[in-house]
Structure 1
Amino acid sequence: MSELQLGLIGLGGAAIVGVVAYNKWQEYRHRKLAEQLLQARHTDVLLDQPVAGETGAGHARVTPDADGKPDLSVTPGALSSPEIDSNAAHTASSSSERINRNELERQEPTLSSLEASADPDLARSPVPGPGSATGLSMPGDQTRESRDVAEPHHLLSPLIDYIAAFETVEPAPAYQILEAQREVLVRIRKPVHWIGYNELSREWEPIIDDGESEYRHIRVGLQLVDRRGPLDDSDLSVFHIAMQDLAAELMAIADLPPRQPALDGAAKLDGFCASVDIQIGINVISQGQVFPGTKLRALAEAAGMVIDGEGRFVRSDDEGNVLFVLLNAEAPGFSAESMKTMSTHGLTFLLDVPRVAHGERVFNQMLDLARRFADVLRGVLVDDNHHPLSEGALEPIRRQLAQYQSMMAAQGLPAGAPLTQRLFS
């Protein structure tokens, strides 16, 4: 055997030893990181407890008449939100053991095995909050402040979202977080919301495509319900797999709540939302003559209403929230270009009950404006059955409106709140 052959054999042996040593170092590094993240668990500001949020997801538009009283027999507090159960600590421990046993496995561990816990009566265990990852070299004071930050339930809430929580090894830029699973998540029929903990401002914020921030504490919420219905198992499965892949790509620890409780909660939430999803309409019809578009526009704009992209005159509050809308009872809708030449025999004022705070007050404002239109245009107020709306007929509607909104508030979903705006969309 020549000296060249001996030299090559020696170099090959040294390379093999180097690769093995590097792998061992990587495994040790990842194991220590997992142990640090899984041992230092604190309260998660998003996943621990539901907070007053919003209402959601009815389906058919209902315009009640004066006599109709829908069934309101929904038990307050009956809604459930997906949470992570008390086997989380056991799961975390077993995840660490798996890393020790499989020394050639270099993937970041996840906590998705939380699904294995099926007993809903077990005490709940919190998901790690923004300051829980002590192995991520976050300054101590910053860790404490991230736990003390106000809970961003207007951004994500376990009451209406299935929330995946991530703690990354290194800060990840916004574009990488959003782009990683974009092609997969676009197939999901429910909205997906991304937020991250900004360590400079020490606040949770939406993660946006052109954002320049980097995040180590990330929450991704899949909305459980909207007006199209509840989340189904196929969409949740796609989301679940995408979140596991995201954790691997970001080298992150992932906490994923069990799926079946989330699906059960979505079905229950959808049923409740359907029971309160009503719209109240007041019609102004002509008595033979037509309502000219120029006069309609003058009246509407004098009342602070503007035409939107859907062909409606919209009345909004100071924060831009829609209070009620004015529709043309005859096709087509309104447009700025056609108002000079169009005319109609009827108008409809419409109040979307779940999306409007202080419903009784807004209803009275809408009623006053409808009466003003009727006086100026010489029309008459009627219900959907073209029966005249007397004060006696209006009072039951006010009572029902107040009852619906009280039910929503009792479930932690007050009408017009930000989460409710998401649910009823």
Structure 2
Amino acid sequence: MNDLQLTLLIVGGGGIAAMIAYNWWQDYRLRKQASERFGETDQDPLLNTGSVKSGFERTEPGFSGSQDFAPSTEFDESSLEASFDAPQNDSHLQNEPQMTIDKRLFADFIIRFDEEKDANTWKTLVDGLEQINRKRIIYSASPDTAESAEILWFKASPYSGTAKSLKASVQIANRKGPLSSIEFSEVLGKFKRFAEDQNADIEFPEMKEVVAKAETLDQAAAALDTLLGLHCLLPETVQESTAVDMLAVAGWVQKGHQWFLSDESGTLASMVIHNAPGKRLLSFSIDVPNSAEPIKALGDIVTVCHGMNEKFGAPLMDDSGRTLSTQAIEGIYNQLIERVRNLTDSGFKPGAPVARILFS
């Protein structure tokens, strides 16, 4: 072996050793970052469930198929209740306290002014950036510098008096999907420009952490999301006015081309009448996470359709057009009860503010 071969061998061996050492260092560094962010457990960092499969795809809500989901109590409806216990300055008593923002649903961007500002300062920003891809942005103002966790925030619009801090809470997930890095960058760019114009400082979270959290939340929500559709097929000989009268007696109220079943908590279910040659279809829908009483709504739908079936021979069908037997309806009840239980145990009680925000 001559000197050239020996030199090449040493150089090649050194290069391989350096590559192995670099790869080991990269693996160690990434594992350390993951450990610091999520801890040493294999549990999901947001919902304490098993790790989500990487091939998970968001699907339309429904009862077809099944998805395993270990419920969590981390989402707490009470976290959305407004807090009035903090001391208030007399000059701000006329302002409305902001509800406590659930940090698991929102990412906070805080702008601190060098000097006190009034509502005209942020009016253009608030009016022009109310949402990003249907995800809400909630603005709060405070006469304090927002350096304490116990600071009392007021709704930024309308707002009387002056403020030293403005907070923008950006929703990180809804039915449109998770907050993406592009959406994060877009809102951050606008907040930064506003802060620069006002000679203010801005505090914002790490984009990668927010996006990862949003994706985890979105996958968990997709596993819980449920939209139940049922249909009552009326013969064409039955006048629409006759069906309308029966719906009104059962408590359904018409608004535009839709009908709604509601109570003091809000909408429980909706219905649309489709007219086609030879038949008239009443299509009922229960948006389970947004309905305060989805099980009651199902019972009311079954009752009104049973009455129409007895009187006109109008069968109750599922989305596939199959006539539902008593046993099938009982199966739907059981599945719905299970979905409601999973939502409630996870902190997304159907009809609660936290559920209506996430499943908007």
1:219, 1:178 → 2: CA distance?
13
Asked whether 1:402 is paired with 2:337, we answer yes
Q: Unaligned regions of 5+ residues in structure 1, if any?
A: 1-49, 51-57, 81-129, 131-139, 332-341
CA 1:187–1:289 in 2, change beyond 3 Å: closer, same or farther?
Answer: closer
- The residue number in structure 2 matching 1:417 is 352
Tell me, yes or no, if the aligned pair for 2:73 and 2:345 is still in contact at 8 Å: no
- The residue number in structure 1 matching 2:218 is 270
1:7-406, aligned counterparts within 5 Å? Answer: 60-64=59-63, 68-71=64-67, 73-77=68-72, 142=88, 152-153=99-100, 156-180=101-125, 185=129, 188-189=132-133, 190-197=135-142, 204-208=153-157, 212=160, 214-286=162-234, 288-309=235-256, 311-319=257-265, 321-330=266-275, 345-406=280-341
SS of the residue corresponding to residue 285 of structure 1 reads strand
Letter in 2 for 1:346: L
Count matched residues.
Answer: 285
Tell me, yes or no, if the aligned pair for 2:118 and 2:160 is still in contact at 8 Å: yes
SS of the residue corresponding to residue 345 of structure 1 reads strand
**1:356-383 alpha-carbon deviations (Å, 9 max, x no partner):** 1243233223322332343344412122
Task: Report how far residue 289 of structure 1 moved.
Answer: 3.8
Task: Report how far residue 272 of structure 1 moved.
Answer: 1.4
Task: Report how far residue 314 of structure 1 moved.
Answer: 0.9
Task: Report how far residue 59 of structure 1 moved.
Answer: 6.2
Tell me, yes or no, if the aligned pair for 2:130 and 2:138 is still in contact at 8 Å: no
Letter in 1 for 2:170: L
SS of the residue corresponding to residue 307 of structure 2 reads helix
**1:140-164 alpha-carbon deviations (Å, 9 max, x no partner):** 9547xx9xx99824xx321111111
Return the structure number with greater relative CO, CA threshold 8 A, min gap 6.
Answer: 1
Letter in 1 for 2:172: L
Tell me, yes or no, if the aligned pair for 1:69 and 1:400 is still in contact at 8 Å: no
SS of the residue corresponding to residue 284 of structure 2 reads strand
Task: Report how far residue 211 of structure 1 moved.
Answer: 5.1
Tell me, yes or no, if the aligned pair for 1:315 and 1:325 is still in contact at 8 Å: yes
1:410, 1:384 → 2: CA distance?
28
SS of the residue corresponding to residue 401 of structure 1 reads helix
2:194, 2:107 → 1: CA distance?
16
- The residue number in structure 2 matching 1:45 is none
CA 1:196–1:378 in 2, change beyond 3 Å: closer, same or farther?
Answer: farther
Q: Unaligned regions of 5+ residues in structure 2, if any?
A: 1-45, 47-56, 76-82, 145-150
CA 1:412–1:218 in 2, change beyond 3 Å: closer, same or farther?
Answer: farther
More strand by share: 2
2:345, 2:197 → 1: CA distance?
41
Aligned CA RMSD, in angstroms, stands at 3.7
- The residue number in structure 1 matching 2:78 is none
2:117, 2:253 → 1: CA distance?
42
Q: Which moved more, 1:220-229 or 1:374-383?
A: 374-383
Tell me, yes or no, if the aligned pair for 1:59 and 1:277 is still in contact at 8 Å: no
Q: Percent of pairs identical after alignment?
A: 19
Tell me, yes or no, if the aligned pair for 2:174 and 2:359 is still in contact at 8 Å: yes
SS of the residue corresponding to residue 340 of structure 2 reads helix
Tell me, yes or no, if the aligned pair for 1:59 and 1:228 is still in contact at 8 Å: no
SS of the residue corresponding to residue 219 of structure 2 reads helix
**Segments of 4+ in structure 1 off by > 6 A?**
none
1:225, 1:315 → 2: CA distance?
28
